[in-house]
């Protein structure tokens, strides 16, 4: 009897141990995309000071990027919270988990593609220079040597401007000075007021500025090779990145994206589905 009781007790202990192990086993964590779908909510980070991609009009965030976001949110069928943040907090913010993904335009740069998962492009992002209209001292980008150049702090424009200055230095002189601004609109004002000689930014943005303020600004030229801009997710959220890319490509293929480009830019940009990321990209 004692042997039977001891065996039974051992079996009971083993069963209890297995049950405890099962309870302690970690439940597979949901991906960000799965969480968005299960909760019915999504939070995105945006810098609404980047017209015509994202900017504030009558108290609401509007623009090319906002229209793309609306299309995607309608497909997801979830509640949107859109945070309007300074650019300098956008990329650190997504890595810190303060929002689900970046729904503001991010230039594809070699130093970024290994840290963030980029969607397919939403627009061309080739870096250009813009000057005051009638400034005959600047007829090409090489004339930026000895000039005061302005761009946005921590932007793709800053990186491109620094790279271009190194090329100028190799041939002679660099810039007289490079001034960095919290937002691009501040740099436009500085250019108009004569505080700087050139603004460095992506072509789509500058083209709209020139179009909307004729006789105030002029485009100078491209400062590098063809490049693109897209949205980003955290590196582990490739399923979310792939979903966003699928929606952008759907908009391209059904013509919606080009209609939005006509609306916000007045011209169309080809959107590739390959070959837009540097080597080593996530």
Provide the pLDDT for residue 11.
52
The per-residue pLDDT for range 7-25, each reduced to its tens digit, is 544 555 444 444 544 444 4
Provide the pLDDT for residue 142.
97
Provide the pLDDT for residue 138.
98
For the chain, the average pLDDT equals 92
Query: What mean pLDDT comes out for the span 80-105?
Result: 97
- Where along the chain do its domains lie? 32-125+227-264, 127-222
HEC letters along the chain: CHHHHHHHHHHHHHHHHHHHHHHHCCCCCCCHHHHHHHHCEEEEEECCEECCCEEEECCEEECHHHHHHHHHHHHHCCEEEEEECCHHHHHHHHHCCCCCEEEEEEECCCCCCCCCEECCCCEECCEEEEEECCCCCCCCHHHHCCCEEEEECCCHHHHHHHHHHHHHHHHCCCCCEEEEECCHHHHHHHHHCCCCCEEEEEHHHHHHHHHHCCCCEEEEEECCCCCEEEEEECCCCHHHHHHHHHHHHHHHHCCHHHHHHHHHCCCCCCCCCCCCCCCCCC
Provide the pLDDT for residue 9.
45
Q: pLDDT band for 258, please (50, 70, 90 cuts).
A: very high
pTM of the model: 0.86
CATH class of 127-222: alpha beta
Same fold, 32-125+227-264 and 127-222: yes
Provide the pLDDT for residue 26.
53
Q: pLDDT band for 4, please (50, 70, 90 cuts).
A: very low
Q: pLDDT band for 274, please (50, 70, 90 cuts).
A: very high
* Residue (of 220, 223, 45) closest to 138 by Cα position: 220
Query: What mean pLDDT comes out for the span 79-96?
Result: 97
Q: Is residue 3's pLDDT more than 90?
A: no
Q: Is residue 1's pLDDT more than 50?
A: no
- The third-level CATH classification (topology) of the domain covering 32-125+227-264 is D-Maltodextrin-Binding Protein; domain 2 (3.40.190)
Query: What mean pLDDT comes out for the span 78-87?
Result: 98
The per-residue pLDDT for range 157-186, each reduced to its tens digit, is 999 999 999 999 999 999 999 999 999 999
Q: pLDDT band for 27, please (50, 70, 90 cuts).
A: low
The per-residue pLDDT for range 227-241, each reduced to its tens digit, is 999 999 999 999 999
């Amino acid at each position: 009897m004692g042997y039977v009781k001891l065996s039974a007790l051992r079996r009971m202990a083993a069963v209890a141990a297995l049950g405890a192990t099962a309870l302690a086993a970690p439940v597979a964590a949901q991906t960000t995309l799965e969480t968005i779908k299960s909760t019915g909510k999504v939070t995105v980070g945006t810098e609404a000071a980047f017209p015509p991609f994202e900017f504030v009009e009558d108290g609401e965030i509007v623009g090319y990027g906002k229209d793309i976001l609306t299309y995607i949110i309608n497909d997801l069928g979830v509640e949107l919270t859109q945070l309007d943040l300074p650019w300098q907090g956008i990329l650190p913010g997504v890595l810190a988990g303060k929002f689900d993904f970046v729904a503001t335009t991010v230039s594809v740069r070699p130093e970024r593609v290994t840290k963030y998962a980029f969607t397919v492009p939403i627009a061309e992002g080739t870096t250009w220079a813009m000057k005051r209209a009638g400034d005959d001292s600047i007829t090409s980008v090489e004339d930026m040597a000895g000039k005061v150049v302005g761009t946005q702090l921590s932007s793709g424009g800053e990186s491109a401007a620094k790279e271009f200055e190194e090329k100028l230095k190799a041939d002679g002189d660099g810039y007289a000075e490079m001034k960095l601004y919290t937002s691009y609109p501040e740099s436009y004002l500085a250019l108009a007021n004569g505080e700087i000689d050139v603004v460095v930014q992506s072509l789509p943005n500058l083209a709209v500025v020139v179009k909307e303020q004729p006789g105030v600004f002029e485009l100078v030229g491209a400062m590098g090779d063809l490049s693109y801009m897209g949205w980003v997710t955290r590196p582990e959220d490739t399923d979310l990145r792939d979903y966003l890319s699928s929606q952008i490509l759907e908009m391209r293929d059904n013509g919606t994206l080009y209609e939005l480009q006509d609306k916000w830019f007045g011209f169309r940009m080809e959107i590739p589905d390959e070959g837009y990321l540097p080597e080593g990209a996530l």
